Structure 1
Amino acid sequence: MNQTPVKAILLLIVFTLSCHTRLFSQRDFERHEFSFHAGYGVMFHNPPTLTLSTHSYQRTLAQGVSWDGQYHFRPLKRFIFGGIYTGFSSKGSHLEGKDHLWIHFIGTQIGMCNANTKHWQIRVTTGPGGVILRNNSEVFGNTRKVRAFTIGLLTNANLTYKLNSNLGVSLGVQYMYSELLRIRTYYHEEKVTVKLNSNDDVNLTRLNITTGLSYYF
């Protein structure tokens, strides 16, 4: 019996196991990562649904607090995917009323990361998700609530310094693009649905700059 095919198959099996061992068993990174960040967010366009339309008031509400929670999984050394939730909040008041704006994004992420260095990690991901807008406002002493849902795209870049194999401190930058199609307003016990067009202030595009912690396992 010719032993050449048998030897070739055995060598292929040994080579495959060796590559698998080098890639996963002796990797210098962990497969799972949880991270939490908080910081500053700014909207590029004037926020919609506000109770006052002056430029100064709109730009005040366009800046606020941002935070996020993320989970990522590495099936391969440089390939990464997972999910992200990020929130934004700003509020302001004027003589006729007040606004408290909330914008939430939750979606999937896929991208690449640098996991070769001992202490530094860079990852860049992007993905679609759902966007929820809420404005808990008040006009002349009466409660006014605005709700809206749409789809957005978020790109996320993160630089982490690993203190040890499990814990790191990180700096994150996020860019979210989204536009509203319709809003629902509840005022004086009446619900009104408004369809929006390109002439309205419907763009929710936002930039977040955050810092936080990452946990690897």
Structure 2
Amino acid sequence: MKRKITLLIMLIAYTAWASAQNGRQSFAVHIGYGNMLEGTSGLSLSDDTYKNKLCQGVNWDAQYHVRAFKDMDFGLLYSGYSAKATHEEGADHVYTHYIAPQAGLYIVNNRSIHVRVNAGLGWMFYRNNGEVFAKSRKATTSNLAGNLGVNFNYKLTPNWGIGADVQYLIAKFGQMDVRYHGQTVDVRFPDGDSLSGNRLSLSAGITYFF
């Protein structure tokens, strides 16, 4: 796994370096709503109502893009998610972090309005900082993941704009490490089952063009 993560970091670094050699660049940050549409598991309570609380949370992202061609660009995406809930016997705080190089194709591209579709392939990290009977319980895992999205920008000035972003992240985890009571257990899901990291995010923010 460490080798795969190292190769991904090298690919991301190369993509950023190669793309930045020419073309107009932009950097955007967004914040909004995230929904893990297929649910989540590995929690301290298996009740469906409780699970639903952890499937709706805050989403945020940062995106860097370089316009390499008139209607196409390349860049990097970081997307994060956070949701937490409590119950009588404990609590859970679920995080996911996703980073990937991605490519974008402009379907509207004029002086004021940019509409772009994006696709990327990267790595997602899942973490649950929980608690059971006042004792810490941490669950972690990671895996290859992908993203599809649509991005809208309206330029207010030559350098600044406002935007909205819709992203769908796709990830599956076949196992996770759970640390509780000083012991770490490798939990593997049954064949045909898995922990879903799939998430739909709706967010808005600002973009800087340079």
TM range, smaller chain: 0.7 to 0.9
Which residue does 2:19 correspond to in 1? none
Please point out which of 128, 133, 154 is paired with 2:126.
Answer: 133
Please point out which of 184, 190, 193 is paired with 1:191.
Answer: 184
Give the direction of change, closer, same or farther, for the CA distance of 1:71–1:129 in structure 2 (3 Å limit). Answer: same
Separation in structure 1 between the aligned mates of residue 157 and residue 107 of structure 2, nearest angstrom: 16
Which residue does 2:85 correspond to in 1? 92
Which residue does 1:102 correspond to in 2? 95
Which residue does 1:5 correspond to in 2? none
After superposition, the C-alpha distances for 1:3-24 in whole angstroms (9 at most, x for unaligned) are: xxxxxxxxxxxxxxxxxxxxxx
User: Does the CA contact (< 8 Å) of 2:121 and 2:146 recur in 1?
Assistant: yes
Matched AA of 2:83: S
Normalised TM-score (structure 2): 0.86
User: Does the CA contact (< 8 Å) of 2:107 and 2:117 recur in 1?
Assistant: no
Which residue does 1:154 correspond to in 2? 147
SS in 2 for 1:75: strand
Separation in structure 1 between the aligned mates of residue 64 and residue 80 of structure 2, nearest angstrom: 15
Matched AA of 2:81: F
Gaps of 5+ in 1: 1-29
Alignment RMSD, CA only? 1.3
Separation in structure 1 between the aligned mates of residue 102 and residue 172 of structure 2, nearest angstrom: 19
User: Does the CA contact (< 8 Å) of 2:136 and 2:180 recur in 1?
Assistant: yes
* 4+ residue runs over 3 A deviation: 197-201
User: Counterparts in 2 of 1:1-217, with a 5 A limit?
Assistant: 31-114=24-107, 116-217=109-210
Separation in structure 1 between the aligned mates of residue 191 and residue 76 of structure 2, nearest angstrom: 30
After superposition, the C-alpha distances for 1:56-86 in whole angstroms (9 at most, x for unaligned) are: 1111110000000000011111011111000
Matched AA of 2:144: I
Gaps of 5+ in 2: 1-22
Matched AA of 1:169: I
Normalised TM-score (structure 1): 0.83
- For structure 1, which segment, 109-118 or 126-135, has the greater mean C-alpha deviation from structure 2 after superposition? 109-118
How many pairs are equivalent? 188
Distance apart, 1:116 and its partner CA: 3.6
After superposition, the C-alpha distances for 1:32-52 in whole angstroms (9 at most, x for unaligned) are: 010000000001112121111
Separation in structure 2 between the aligned mates of residue 114 and residue 212 of structure 1, nearest angstrom: 20
Highest CA radius of gyration, 1 or 2?
1
Separation in structure 1 between the aligned mates of residue 124 and residue 29 of structure 2, nearest angstrom: 19
SS in 2 for 1:53: coil
Which residue does 1:15 correspond to in 2? none
Distance apart, 1:196 and its partner CA: 2.0
Which residue does 1:4 correspond to in 2? none
Higher normalized strand content (fraction of residues): 2
Separation in structure 2 between the aligned mates of residue 133 and residue 116 of structure 1, nearest angstrom: 36
Separation in structure 2 between the aligned mates of residue 53 and residue 169 of structure 1, nearest angstrom: 40
